[in-house]
């Protein structure tokens, strides 16, 4: 069987203000960090990176609790406190003029980096490099445990937490821990009551984007893209289809912890508890 490979080019327009150090990612990276598994082209780059993991000789900021691995990084960090590189639009303070120049694109809408395949444009050269892997199929970052491959090193770092069980992000209110920062941010809305995702068709708001999308499909759309392979019934959401499939598979995922009875639906388990094990509910 002949396999055809697609070749493509990526145009990256020169920009002296961009702080991304690598505009290309096709160099061999034989040196790997044993802590986070990030890969580097030279041993020197690896050694400098490993200093990030050794906090013994880090430089402390006198204005906040942050610690930096080098004096140069501390000097740049201090720009945040002095306001030397401050955005005139939103007041955000950046660590360098280059970072400020990149940040300003969020206000101007400027996207100087264009993909030659689909012509999508990006504000960062690094974003274009990562996007180009959609077309090439390249996945240069491999998990050493299960050998799953990823297009970005950050995706690999998050994936490895599945194997290690590491949950480095902790809620300061209830101390619940999470494996990803985004999950912590979404969780914090439980405490703040913030609902930033508003439905454009009614007055409802939601804490998560996925909840808004589900709401729109259920209440404001007649589309039923999910089909049952057994009877052909159609459903608006994949969750509704999964629930329906229990009719055909006789799956009973809800088990009573007081006896051996199992139930297809959650409300059946609740009814069972009230009728057969009410004495346990009283003492809960």
Task: Report percent pLDDT > 90 for the chain.
Answer: 3
Dist. CA 196–CA 214, nearest whole Å: 15
| pTM for this model (two decimals) | 0.43
Check if 10-164 and 170-219 are the same fold. yes
**Which parts of the chain have pLDDT scores under 70?**
1-27, 54-57, 280-284
Coil, strand or helix at 150: strand
Q: What are phi and psi of 266, to 5 degrees?
A: -65, -40
Q: State the burial class of residue 98 (Cβ atoms within 10 Å of its Cβ: 0-12, 13-18, 19+).
A: middle
CB within 8 A of 23, min separation 6: which ones?
12, 125, 126, 129
Tokens 């080019």 locate to 9
CATH code matching the domain that covers 170-219, chosen among 3.30.160.60, 3.40.190.10, 3.40.30.10, 2.60.40.10: 3.30.160.60
pLDDT at 275: 85
Q: Three-class SS of residue 159?
A: helix
d(CA 281, CA 269): 13
Report whether 33 contacts 49 (CB < 8 A). yes
Q: Give residue-wise pLDDT tens across range 31-89.
A: 888 777 788 888 878 877 777 776 656 788 888 777 787 888 888 888 888 888 888 88
Distance CA 134, CA 137 (A): 5
Give backbone dihedrals phi and psi of 245, rounded to 5 degrees, phi first. Answer: -60, -20
CA–CA separation, 100 vs 59, rounded Å? 23
Q: Which residue has the tokens 């702080």?
A: 19
> What pLDDT was estimated at residue 50?
76
Pairing of strands 149-150, 262-263: unpaired
Structure tokens given for 3: 């396999």
Q: Could you say which DSSP state residue 174 is in?
A: T
Q: Dihedral sign, CA of 62, 66, 68, 72?
A: negative
Burial class (CB in 10 A: 0-12, 13-18, 19+), 143: middle
- The predicted-structure confidence for 154-167, as pLDDT tens digits, reads as follows 888 888 888 888 88
Residues 6+ apart with CB under 8 A from 104: 87, 89, 110
Give the start-to-end residue ranges of the domains of the chain.
Answer: 10-164, 170-219
Architecture field, domain 10-164:
2-Layer Sandwich (3.30)
**What does the block give as tokens for 188?**
């914090």
Q: Residue 272: which of 258, 251, 284 has the closest Cα?
A: 258
C-alpha 169/C-alpha 269 separation (Å) is: 34
Look at residue 54 in the predicted model and tell me its pLDDT: 67
Which residue pairs from 155-161 have beta carbons closer than 8 angstroms and sit at least 24 positions apart in sequence?
156/37, 157/36, 157/37, 157/38, 160/37
């Amino acid at each position: 069987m002949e396999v055809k490979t697609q070749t493509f080019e990526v145009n990256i327009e020169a920009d002296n203000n961009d702080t991304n150090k690598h505009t290309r990612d096709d160099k061999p990276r034989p040196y790997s960090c044993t802590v986070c598994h990030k890969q580097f082209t030279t041993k020197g780059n690896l050694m400098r990176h490993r200093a990030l993991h050794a906090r013994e000789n880090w430089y402390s900021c006198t204005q906040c609790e942050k610690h930096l691995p080098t004096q140069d990084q501390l000097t740049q960090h201090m720009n945040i406190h002095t306001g030397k590189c401050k955005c005139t639009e939103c007041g955000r303070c950046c660590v360098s003029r280059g970072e400020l120049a990149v940040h300003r694109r969020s206000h101007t809408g400027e996207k100087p980096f264009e993909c030659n395949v689909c012509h999508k444009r990006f504000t960062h050269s690094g974003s274009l490099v990562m996007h180009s892997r959609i077309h090439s199929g390249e996945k240069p970052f491999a998990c050493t445990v299960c050998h799953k491959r990823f297009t970005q090193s950050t995706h690999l770092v998050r994936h490895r937490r599945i194997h290690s069980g590491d949950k480095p992000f902790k809620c300061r209110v209830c101390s619940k821990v999470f494996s990803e920062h985004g999950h912590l941010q979404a969780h914090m809305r439980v405490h703040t009551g913030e609902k930033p995702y508003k439905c454009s068709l009614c007055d409802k708001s939601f804490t998560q984007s996925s909840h808004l999308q589900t709401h729109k499909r259920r209440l404001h759309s007649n589309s039923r893209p999910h089909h049952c392979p057994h009877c052909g019934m159609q459903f608006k959401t994949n969750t509704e289809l999964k629930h329906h499939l229990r009719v055909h598979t006789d799956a009973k995922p809800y088990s009573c912890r007081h006896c051996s009875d199992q139930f297809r639906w959650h409300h059946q388990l609740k009814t069972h508890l009230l009728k057969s094990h009410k004495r346990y509910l009283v003492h809960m």
